[in-house]
Amino acid sequence: MSNVTQLSPGTWQISHPFQGEGEIVGSYLLAGGNELAIVDPGPGSVIESLLASIREAGFEPGDVTHILATHVHLDHAGATGSLVKQMPEAQVYVHGLGAPHLLDTTKVVASASRIFGERMKSLWGEIEPTPFDRLHVIENGDRLNVAGRRLEVHYAPGHAIHHVIFFDAHSGELFAGDAAGVRLPGVDYVRPPTPPPDLDLQAWSETINLLKRLRPDVLYIGHFGAIKAIVPQLERLHEKLYIWGEFVLSAMRDGKEEAEIIAMLIEYANPELLQAAAGDPHVLPRYEIATNYPMTVQGYMRYWRKKHPERL
């Protein structure tokens, strides 16, 4: 099966092989007006696949002019620094609160190494800094003329404090990163990706309202693909974000430790995910690759401790 799918005139979806699975981690490619843009290039471990996919779509990687990052998490933007070396024309666009992590990757590398240990290299590949003169800070309200279209930049915190979305009001396409939740192809199930350290339920609620207000025709989500039933996607994300949040909070109030809460959430949530997948157990590891239970619980625990200690 091809890793490249054309979604609309000038828009392609790229699926990266990640941890042996396709259609979980990917990028979007935009072409027009003699420009070529990548939205969320992906992790450093999939660079070869990204370059091959750009060629498969009929373009030359060296002709990429823009790299747009919805946010700097490694599965979305880890490859950025390495790519700009191979793409002499490419300029990188990222929110001001994310920019420091692309300019200097030492903190990201250190914290990811603590979490992933020996799997670091195989998961994320090289994590190289982006040179200062290739990086452009973007913020809410900016308009980018990119690849023959006009993209509105909207600040969209909640999943990450530096998260933005890119909206093409003309075509109705909205590049949502992780702000619209995780939903894998063929499975009618929305999981909230809630990793530490930035998770903010209140901010995310406002972001969900923003996404509804923009009235896009299609959401292109990070994990994974095009979503056309937009309001149900956003409402289910909102509902689950809070149900899981209260679930973790109540376990914390009962004095449970992190490992216990993770086990409790798995026991609670896996049956509903399996049901949505008609019992196919392969769905469980696939959703774990997109956003896993341990980080989900860690994200909520940190949120409650930092933002709402009065509820503990």
Q: Which residues bind Zn ion (CB under 5 A)?
A: 73, 178
Least Å distance between CB 178 and Zn ion? 4
Helices (H), the chain: 47-56, 74-77, 80-86, 99-103, 106-116, 120-124, 201-213, 230-253, 258-276, 283-290, 293-307
4 and 13 Cβ atoms separated by less than 8 Å: yes
Least Å distance between CB 158 and Zn ion? 11
CA distance 299 to 295: 6
Least Å distance between CB 74 and Zn ion? 9
- Residue closest to Zn ion, measured at CB: 73
Amino acid at 29: L
In this complex, which beta carbon is closest to Zn ion, that of residue 16 or of residue 73? 73
In this complex, which beta carbon is closest to Zn ion, that of residue 73 or of residue 134? 73
In this complex, which beta carbon is closest to Zn ion, that of residue 77 or of residue 90? 77
Least Å distance between CB 160 and Zn ion? 6
Sign, CA dihedral 296-26-136-165, equals negative
Residue 245: HSE in the Cβ half-sphere, 13 Å Cα cutoff: 23
In this complex, which beta carbon is closest to Zn ion, that of residue 73 or of residue 238? 73
Instruction: Using the structure block, give the residue that is written with the tokens 């799997």.
Output: 119
Least Å distance between CB 38 and Zn ion? 16
Residue 187: HSE in the Cβ half-sphere, 13 Å Cα cutoff: 25
Sheet holding 35-39, edge to edge: 4-8, 11-18, 21-32, 35-39, 66-68, 91-95, 135-138
Least Å distance between CB 64 and Zn ion? 22
In this complex, which beta carbon is closest to Zn ion, that of residue 61 or of residue 157? 157
Instruction: Using the structure block, give the residue that is written with the tokens 């290039």.
Output: 41
Instruction: Using the structure block, give the residue that is written with the tokens 């209140």.
Output: 202
In this complex, which beta carbon is closest to Zn ion, that of residue 73 or of residue 95? 73
